[in-house]
Structure 1
Amino acid sequence: MNTSIIFNNAKMVLRDGVLDGSLAVQDGMIADISSTATAQPAVDMEGDYLLPGLIEMHTDNLEKHLIPRPGVEWPSALSALIAHDVQMMGSGITTVYDSIFVGEYMRGNGRKALLKRSIQANHEGRDQGFLRAEHFLHLRCELADEHTLSLFSEHADDPLLKLVSVMDHTPGQRQWSDLSKWRLYHSDKKWTDEDAARVIAERTEAQRLYAEPNRQAIVAMAHERNIPLASHDDTTLEHVEESIESGVSICEFPTTMEAARAIKERGLTVAMGAPNVVRGGSHSGNVSALDLAAEGLLDALSSDYAPKSLIHGAFLLHQKVGLPLPEAIATVSTNLADVLGLDDRGELSVGKRADLVQVRIFQDVPVVRGVWREGRRVI
């Protein structure tokens, strides 16, 4: 269908600056960017910011809709996905990598059962045209689980699989180097000290048996399929070297300044959680994303468990750290498009997809007022 739309009176956040003016869309693509208003009929942005659609590479949010309360599994995975999709779009996120657990780091947490349901719902929603955002799969593989490799193998050739990450949540290292934070995170289980010691021993033994063989096999399968790889919670220089050896391009959520600096020096992408930015620190007691940004060590943000945090986090990088606005917005758009190979989107530029977000700042908080995917308004 031949469709056109013009946006007037917009503060357009480009790759290299902010331009007041107009943007024209033709057939779902950006056709023109101008510093002058057009006399043609247009959508009045009322001086609001116009951003490229946000890119989310690691969201756990679908899980919340599949298990809205502990022990409650939602009957329809498709309806859960559709509710999740609306929430993502309402946060200005037009490209979504649904981060789905492969394996478990805690016996009986029910995540294995969600794997097939989540993937099937993604295909159904996409095939039926029910989804407003474009959804891909990010399979994050828990290495210290005996079933992870067989589960991953079932889905390694899924055409929607666009990112694989390897992670190890064994208590006492990486994210859970501070065992007191690990105990606090699992406080709902009301473990005695003896219970906690038993769980730690079980998880440590599983790590010894399965982590390294799983890592080697999954990394090899990802490389064979040209799927980008991410690491998770690098803490030490040894972890960073392991990521480099594995051919990782993105290091998600490094837990120390030392690890983040080493990652950056080696030319890999440092990705942190936007909730860490919004809250002013890590819930696990690890390094602050704001501190990394202040040191020039932050490339990308992920909303992780809170979709609303992605756009808020980007603006806070501008407001609190002083990053130029184009650099701050690039952490949730351009930089991710570059590292994930999404060369058709991620910036306001002629010839790119017209994935657009209208944003107004109210009391220092970015408010999403409109979202367009490929030139079609969806919010």
Structure 2
Amino acid sequence: MTPGLDLDFHGAAVLRPDGLDHAPLCVADGRIVEGASGGRRVDLTGWTICPGIVDIHGDGFERHVAVRRGALPAMDEGVLATEAELAANGITTALLAQFFSWEGGMRGPDFAARLVAAWQAASPRVATDLRLQLRLETHVIDDFPQAEALIEEGGIGHVVFNDHLPHDRLAAGRTPPRLTGQALKSGRSPEAHLALLRGLEARSAEVPQAVTALAARLLKRGVRIGSHDDRTPADRAWYRAIGAHLSEFPETLEVAGAARAAGDGIVMGAPNVVRGASHAGKVSAREVVAAGLCDALASDYHYPAPRLAVRALTEAGICDVVQAWRLVSEGPARLMGLTDRGRIAEGLRADLVILKADTGRIGGTMAGGRFTYLATPLAERLIA
């Protein structure tokens, strides 16, 4: 990591693990230090400094890397644009959640391989810690070797299992919803797409053994695994049994409760919190947070959402700012196994977001002691 700036911030309200205080915050060599850094003194009266946001699951990058469905092929430039958006929203560590699915298009294996290549080209050029998560569809069992090779090649440390097949419709011999639109996105005819879905459904009995074996190999390699959209406590129990101890976006309060009782990590969507309800008709993330059943909030499809979710939770009286901010910093860092970030404490990475105290707007973001985003009027204080 390139050394960052040596700076002593004074006058700001600083969100430390026990709450807000106004003690100076000093940064040296990319870390938070006790006492003066020996560097420049900066007056941040009127600003609040919080831990950098750790985004454990986000696919908002798609708008940057798949411009008009591939009209602009330089995907690494899209990754750089994604990093700029992340930084502007206070995100200092981000998992880019990429599908590996029968759905094709931006969710298909070929697109996933292109994203890995673009990430490998772009991520060393930025200070934001960009990582990859693979969202692997359970029924693409013939493509598991390709997925496993991509995980190895890209050094992907997080894999989450999805099952988006419309089982009820297929089992009943009915046409799945949105078939034509989905087929066009995949580059298939509706007839070919439906035949593919029926073929995958017909092999459902093979899926548990294939997923169990793959999970064992991934765990042996040190990959963290989880599941996405758990529908029932039984679903969660099955994934837990194969070593997937992370539950992303459980669909009911009952499932979240079952995950908590077993000690699993629970991730909910920050946009769900901001809206006050799930856009897909599932459990309200506010309800899950209020019940003490959430460890982390993820940007999902909207990078401003984690910061906005903190405000929504505090304004609704669901939790205080320390508890709310923990859901977007310390909580996701812990679930990702990153012990060097997520809090403002001596020796940790200087991953910080600086907000205007009266409006909550972001003036600057710092990752590893390096500014990744800086805007007026905060920039003027540092330049003066």
Same fold (TM over 0.5): yes
1:251 aligns with 2:250: no
Structure 2 unaligned regions, length at least 5: 169-173, 374-384
Structure 2 Cα separation of the partners of residues 330 and 182 of structure 1: 38
Q: Indicate which of 99, 110, 115 corresponds to 1:113.
A: 110
Question: What is the distance in 2 between the residues matched to 1:33 and 1:333?
Answer: 24
Is the CA contact (8 Å cut-off) linking 1:168 and 1:211 kept in structure 2?
no
Deviations 1:235-275 (A, max 9, x none): 11111111210212211000011101111111111101111
Q: How does 1:116-195 map to 2 (within 5 A)?
A: 116-127=113-124, 130-158=125-153, 160-172=155-167, 183=178
CA distance in 2, matches of 1:172, 1:368: 44
Q: Distance in 1 between matches of 2:203 and 2:183?
A: 24
CA shift, 1:352, in A, is 0.3
Q: Deviations over 1:46-76 (max 9, x none)?
A: 332211111112111222222233x444310
Q: CA deviation at 1:377?
A: 1.6
Answer whether contact 2:100 2:107 (CA < 8 A) is retained.
no
SS for the counterpart of 1:161 is coil
Amino acid at match of 2:234: E
Alignment of 1:276 onto 2:275: no
Q: Which residue is equivalent to 2:338?
A: 342
Cα distance change of structure 1 residues 42 and 257 upon mapping to structure 2, 3 Å threshold: same
Normalised by the size of structure 1, how large is the TM-score? 0.86
Q: Equivalent residue for 2:91?
A: 93
Structure 2 equivalent of residue 333 of structure 1:
329
SS at match of 2:366: strand
| SS in structure 1 of the partner of residue 356 of structure 2 | strand
Alpha carbons 1:290, 1:321 under 8 Å: kept: no
1:376 aligns with 370
Question: What is the distance in 1 between the residues matched to 2:328 and 2:248?
Answer: 14
- 3-state secondary structure, aligned to 1:378: strand
- Larger deviation, residues 53-62 vs 108-117: 108-117
Distance 1:19 1:122, change over 3 A: same
Distance across 1 between alignment mates of 2:56 and 2:306: 11
Identify which of 279, 291, 305 aligns with 2:301: 305
Retained in 2: the 8 A contact 1:103–1:151? no
Structure 2 CA distance for partners of 1:162 and 1:295, relative to 1, 3 Å: same
Give CA-to-partner distance per residue, 1:297-343, whole Å, 9 cap, x none. Answer: 11101101111111111222222243121111111111111121111
Distance, in Å, in 1 between the alignment partners of 2:9 and 2:128 is 21
Q: For 1:272 and 1:30, how far apart are their aligned partners in 2?
A: 29
Label 1:18 to 1:110 Cα distance change in 2 as closer, same or farther (>3 A): closer
TM-aligned CA deviation for residue 12 of structure 1: 1.2
Taking a change above 3 Å as real, the CA distance of residues 280 and 182 of structure 1, as seen in their structure-2 partners, is farther
Contact 2:65-2:76 within 8 A present in 1 as well: no
Counterpart code for 1:125: A
**Aligned AA (2:67):** P
Letter in 2 for 1:6: D
- AA aligned to 2:135 is R
Question: How many residues are treated as equivalent by the alignment?
Answer: 362
DSSP-derived class of the 1:343 partner: coil
Against the structure 1 CA distance between its residues 305 and 108, is the aligned structure 2 distance closer, same or farther, given a 3 Å change threshold?
closer
Question: Pick from 25, 28, 31: which aligns with 2:30?
Answer: 28
Q: Percent identity?
A: 28
2:369 maps to 1:367:
no
Pick one of 4, 11, 14 that aligns with 1:12.
14
Q: TM-score, normalised by structure 2?
A: 0.85
Letter in 1 for 2:31: M
What is the Cα-based RMSD across aligned positions, in Å? 3.2
**What are the ranges of 5 or more consecutive residues in structure 1 without an aligned counterpart?**
174-178
Q: How many Å separate the matches in 2 of 1:312 and 1:163?
A: 26
Shift of 1:82: 0.5
Partner secondary structure for residue 214 of structure 2? helix
Partner Cα distance (1:25, 1:221) in 2: 41
SS in 2 for 1:284: coil
The 3 A distance-change label for structure 1 pair 76 and 200 is closer
Measured in 2, the distance between the counterparts of 1:184 and 1:32 equals 59
CA contact (8 A) 1:142 1:148 kept: no
